[in-house]
Amino acid sequence: MYLVPPPPDHDAPYDPSVVDRAPGRGAGEQLADRLRQVAKGDEDAFAALYDETAPRVHGLVLRVLRNPSQSEEVTQEVYLEVWRGASRFDPHKGSAIGWLLTMAHRRAVDRVRSSQSATVRDDSWHARSRDVAFDTTAELATARIEARRVRSALDGLTQVQREAVSLAYLGGYTHTEVASLLDLPLGTAKTRIRDGLIRLRDQLGVTP
Note the pLDDT tens digit of each residue in 67-102.
999 999 999 999 999 999 999 999 888 889 989 998
For residues 164 and 196, the answer to whether their CB atoms sit within 8 Å is yes
* Summary mean pLDDT of the chain: 76
> Whole-angstrom Cα distance, residue 58 to residue 184?
20
All domains of the chain in start order, with CATH? 23-132 (1.10.1740.10), 133-208 (1.10.10.10)
**Helix, strand, coil percentages, rounded to 5, for the chain:** 75, 0, 25
* pLDDT given at position 15: 41
pLDDT at 168: 84
C-alpha dist (Å) from residue 177 to 165, 173, 180: 12, 6, 5
Specify the higher pLDDT residue, 163 or 18: 163
Q: Give the H/E segment covering residue 187.
A: helix 186-204
Residue 134 has pLDDT above 50, yes or no: no
pTM over 0.85: no
